Structure 1
Amino acid sequence: MTESGSVGGAGLRILIENSEYWLRNNGDLAMFEVTIRRLRERWPNARIGVLTDSPSLVRAYFPAAEAMTVWDDDPWDEPTRLEEFAAKVGPTIVGPIAISRLQTKGWIPDRARRARRKLLRMAGARVSDDGARPPRPHTGSARAAREASLVLALGGGYLTDSDKGQANRVMNLFEQAFSRDVPVAMVGQGLGPMEDPILLERLADVLPKVEVIALREKRRGPGLLGTIGFPADRVLVTGDDAIELSYEVRRDDFGTDLGVCLRVAEYSPVSKAAQETVGNVVRNLAAEFDAGLVPLIIAEYRRQDRKSTLPLVRGADKVTAPLGKFVAPQEIAKQVSQCRVLVTGAYHLAVFALSQGIPVIALTSSQYYDEKFLGLGDMFGLGLEVVHLDEVGLSKRLTDAVRAAWASASDVREPLRARALEQIEASKAGFARIFDIVERTAAEKA
């Protein structure tokens, strides 16, 4: 009996590259949840491996998966007792301990790398902070890819100039898989902006060997893949895989609150003045609508969204308490369902809202986020308006946009949900195509 013909996919090894090894982004966790569910539905007896820096946290969030690190001598070894314990108690208990250990372990290496770069620059050497091509994969990740039946890269926004280090890390992992004729697929991907010639050359060398690339938007991605020579018949536009998770928690009645999240990061710079303006606008409008304010958190890495979002709601009359730092992504989506309108600088919160029929005001301050939000808006067709945080007259512009969205909420709800369903079906079809490739490859190798 072949691998694909064995009971429930027994013998198959699926390696997931999720790009966020600390598991501190609730949008990534949502895509993760949907992906593991679909893999288990097709192959209940397959092994699902996940590359991570925190094996215990992977098991806490996803007991159906196995964790492996880049340092593992035998990444496909059985889970440890500690990991089995983590799977039983869940992320609320495991999370704080796991992240504390990661922060302690990461402090010294980070300091050492920064010191080394500084010394090299002082010596006159040319040093890149992210590098054109990082070192080859460590033993664990290389072996995990070579011994897999499929390497599956989950949706992310790392194929872009602003995240060249991660893009190259993924390309290096793919090459390990290709060396053993292991099929590779990418799902829910966002591409660009990308103009760096070295990165484009690297992708042009590696990506055409990928079996399928499923994109979360059609506005820029297909054209960008065309410029690097990726075959058009292997490109799918499926939408974001997190749509399914959020659509499932939609409610029958309309939400009554105003949701808000502001992303401030190196790739999303926001001035103090703009931050204050956003806070003033959402507090004033919540009072005008007699609505509660809901601070929503997607990126938990170093408290990123908490630090920039919670100050916005201070002083408001009615504020919903933010959820804890280690909750299931469904809980974030359910909190979004309380809202009639969402104001957000975080991409996946916009996905959560639009999937449930909730209009979105998307806050952006960079080309990177322009492309993410415009691509998402194009996929849904309505219900999303982009507001640039550096534009003149921001207060009036944002106030008018939120008022218009509040008034149109009942009109856009069902059309948005219909578009969500279309994307869910497209995403499932994309996975089915990948499943068929894996089973065919396994049969040929048997």
Structure 2
Amino acid sequence: MANRIPRAASRRPEVRVLLENGEYWLNNRGDLAILDVTVRRFAERWPNARIGVLTAAPALLRAYESRVDPICYQRGGNWPRWRRRPGPMSRIRPEIAGVPMNGWDAAVALPGRVARRLRRVVGRGGASNESASRAVVPGPPALSRDGGHVPNAVDTASVVVAIGGGYMTDIDRFQTERTLDLLEYATERGIPTAMTGQGLGPLTEPDLLERAARVLPRVDLIALREDVQGPELLRSLGVPPDRVVVTGDDAVELGYSTRRDELGTDLGVCLRVAEYSPVGAAIQDAVGRVVRDAAARYGSGLIPLIVSEHDAEDRRSTMPLLDGYPGAVPPLGRFAGARALSQQVGRCRIIVTGAYHVAVFALSQGISVVGLSTSRYYDDKFAGLNSMFGSGIETVRLDRDGMEDRLRDAIRSRWAGAPDSHTALLARAEDQIRASKAVFDRIAGFAEAGLTERRDLESGPSAPPTSPR
């Protein structure tokens, strides 16, 4: 960690952890799993700490995580004036509490959404790009109260942590810029920073690379969820090797905690169709035929594994795969949590998935995976998982000739070999959990030191290159 200079005396000596969540509307159970593990670890370390989570859905966040302070990034991003204690709704399962709380969040956010859209249309001749709306404030990142986009809460944080996700990439530009803004503001003011469980890249846009090369080498610790792409990208950006560690995905711990003693008997399936994961109608139909035929051959149930609720994307693309199959299992409800999904995964002997975190939950329980990909983004995700677990995942490109035969062969192979790989996958999960916990211990040390010290702004690594090429 860089040298620090003493901080001014504070009237608020308690630990304040500010978490960059990466998925502000809480629509993804993989991200919810990472949040669950992260909050629990910090709460166990500091029972009296304030744990702030950046969000656009503060009420829904409290349904999932009653111990946190929601930090509303679109409305100043201030710490709540009073520490919030778990209320009656915290004793109600998210499946029930999530419905009214999500409705409340939507109602509160509506006026602001309308106002922002009007400003964009009037001020930019119809431009509706969210990134463009950020360009009205030039210069270095500034707090919201100073006219910028950085949440005010960062100014009194003991540590700022960008928790795991695959959002530091070209295809999620807005979140990449938002995270870099937050980290840059914190590092320039001597506030300890860390990134955990990160899946970096593909990152090729020149301006994003330049920003990343300016900011990431100053982050105190960067923990990666894979060892295939991320370490080389960080090296090329000038990040010192002693600030980089490979841990695996933090959601591995949640998945491992729901494991069963014996392999399940069902076949689980999830198909992700999105702009970054394009799958045509004919290919969707073919995947459905293959998984239904396989489930019938083995006499197994067929379980839809819904990860992303953003625009119901996983439901819309996964549920048709089960059409007409007599052993189809009902999907989880809209607001079911990450643990419920991982428990569903635990019923399976193998899974077929185009969603990354379904694979994480499976491998963490010793369950083999057939990965579905049509993009470099998912090629990299599944390759990283395969490296971290040593085996257990076979990726099938859906956009190539002979896909149906290759998918059938992959399912047949994984089904037959599932018992042989079970124990080895669990051992790899245990290794990753230990590595991940060790990183949180290091971050806690940064925060505790940062309560009395401040970074020497004159120290730090030399200027890094601006492109990995």
Tell me what 2:193 maps to.
184
Shift of 1:173: 1.2
2:217 is the alignment partner of 1:208: yes
Q: CA RMSD in A?
A: 2.3
Tell me what 1:13 maps to.
16
Which of residues 400, 416, 423 is equivalent to 1:414?
A: 423
Provide the rounded CA distance (Å) in 1 between the counterparts of 2:304 and 2:192: 41
CA contact (8 A) 1:154 1:187 kept: yes
Q: State how many pairs are aligned.
A: 431
Q: Aligned in 2, Cα 1:181/1:377: closer, same or farther, shift over 3 Å?
A: same
What is the letter of the counterpart of residue 114 of structure 2?
A: I
Could you report, residue by residue, the CA deviation over 1:375-417 in whole angstroms, capped at 9, with x for unpaired residues?
1111111010001110111111101100000000001000100
TM-score by length of 1: 0.91
Mapping of residues 274-313 of structure 1, within 5 Å: 274-313=283-322
Shift of 1:442: 1.8
Tell me what 1:395 maps to.
404
2:359 is the alignment partner of 1:350: yes
Provide the rounded CA distance (Å) in 1 between the counterparts of 2:95 and 2:206: 43
What is the letter of the counterpart of residue 47 of structure 2?
A: P
Tell me what 2:56 maps to.
53
Tell me what 2:434 maps to.
425
What is the letter of the counterpart of residue 50 of structure 1?
A: V
Mapping of residues 364-375 of structure 1, within 5 Å: 364-375=373-384
What is the letter of the counterpart of residue 369 of structure 1?
A: Y
Shift of 1:84: 3.6
CA contact (8 A) 2:77 2:151 kept: no
2:87 is the alignment partner of 1:78: no
TM-score by length of 2: 0.87
Which of residues 233, 236, 240 is equivalent to 2:245?
A: 236
Q: Aligned in 2, Cα 1:368/1:131: closer, same or farther, shift over 3 Å?
A: farther
Q: Aligned in 2, Cα 1:390/1:118: closer, same or farther, shift over 3 Å?
A: farther
Deviates more, 1:34-43 or 1:172-181: 172-181
Tell me what 1:6 maps to.
none
Gaps of 5+ in 1: 1-8, 122-126
Tell me what 2:125 maps to.
119
Shift of 1:66: 1.2
What is the letter of the counterpart of residue 295 of structure 1?
A: P
Could you report, residue by residue, the CA deviation over 1:43-93 in whole angstroms, capped at 9, with x for unpaired residues?
111111111111111111111111121214742422569x84543434223
Tell me what 2:45 maps to.
42
Deviates more, 1:56-65 or 1:288-297: 56-65
2:338 is the alignment partner of 1:329: yes
Shift of 1:323: 1.1
Tell me what 2:3 maps to.
none
Provide the rounded CA distance (Å) in 2 between the counterparts of 1:312 and 1:52: 33
Shift of 1:10: 6.9
Tell me what 1:153 maps to.
162
Could you report, residue by residue, the CA deviation over 1:106-140 in whole angstroms, capped at 9, with x for unpaired residues?
5635754774587267xxxxx97645975555349
- Secondary structure in 2 matching 1:21: coil
Provide the rounded CA distance (Å) in 1 between the counterparts of 2:381 and 2:425: 18
Tell me what 1:23 maps to.
26
CA contact (8 A) 2:28 2:307 kept: yes
What is the letter of the counterpart of residue 403 of structure 1?
A: R
Provide the rounded CA distance (Å) in 2 between the counterparts of 1:203 and 1:387: 32
Shift of 1:440: 1.8
Could you report, residue by residue, the CA deviation over 1:226-254 in whole angstroms, capped at 9, with x for unpaired residues?
11111110000000000011101110122
Tell me what 1:4 maps to.
none
2:33 is the alignment partner of 1:33: no
**Percent identity for Structure 1 against Structure 2:** 48
Q: Which has the higher contact order (CA 8 A, sep 6+)?
A: 2
What is the letter of the counterpart of residue 441 of structure 1?
A: G
Provide the rounded CA distance (Å) in 2 between the counterparts of 1:192 and 1:267: 13
Provide the rounded CA distance (Å) in 2 between the counterparts of 1:402 and 1:167: 36
